[in-house]
Amino acid sequence: MGKKRKDLTGRRCGRLIILKSKRERNHIFCYCTCDCDSGTNKRLVHKIKEYQIKEMGRKSCGCLRGDKPSEYGSTYLGEMPNYITLQKKWDSYWNKCYNSKQNCDYSKKGIIMCSEWADKKDGALLFYAWAIKRDFEDGDRIKRIDKSLGYFPENCMVVKKQSNNALMKKQFIAKGKNITDRIDKTHRYDQINVFHNSKVNIQYLTAR
C-alpha cells in the first residue's frame, strides 16, 4: 500500500496558512493566505501547488525572496465558499467566550476557545480550515460535543444539514391515541426501533 498523503489543511507553513487542499486533474492545490496582507481589508487567497510547499519549502505567496508569485492566481478571502458564514459563526463564538458585554459570558463558566481559534489575527482562518476539512456546507451547524467544555477541534463537530433539518418524530401510541413529539436529531439510525412496555407501546419512527 502507498503511503497516506499528509493533508496540510489548517497548518501554517512560513507565512502561509493552508485553508484547504483540493485535487484538480493531476495536481493537488493548496488555497492559502499569506501574512503579507493580513492587515488589509481585502485579504487574498493564493492557489499554490502542494508539492511546492511540501518538497520545495515554499513559505509565502511570493513576497519572500526566492518564492515566485503563484502562476495560478488568487482570489479574495471573502469569495471563498462559506467563508462569510463561518466567519460570522467564529465571531459569535468568540464574543460568547470573551466579550463581557454579552448576556451569556461563557468565560465565567470556563468555556473558552483553544489558543489557535481564539487568536484575533488568524483564529477565524484556522476555524474555517477546520470546518472545510470536515465538509462544512451552507446550512450545516457547528456543535460542541461536551457542552461543559469550550470550542476546540476535539470537542466540536459539523452537523450536516440533512440531520439538522430532519427532526425525528417519536410517536407514542397510548390508549389508542397518537401523540407526536419532536426531538433533535443528532445521530442517524439505520432501522426502526420499537420498544414495548406493559402499559404503553412506544414506537420511534426514524428516517434513514
What does the mean pLDDT of the chain come to? 79
The residue to which cell 407514542 is assigned = 172
Helix 123-133 crosses helix 83-98 at what angle (to 10 degrees)?
A: 120
How many residues are recorded in the chain? 208
Main-chain phi, psi angles of 77, to 5 degrees: -55, -40
Looking up cell 515566485, which residue turns up?
68
Condensed to tens digits (0 to 9), the pLDDT of residues 41-84 reads: 688 999 999 999 999 999 999 999 888 888 888 999 999 999 99
Rg (the chain; Cα; Å): 22
Domain borders along the chain are 12-79, 83-153, 166-205
Judge contact between 135 and 80, C-beta under 8 A. Answer: no
By the 8 A CB rule, do 157 and 143 touch? yes
pTM of the model: 0.72
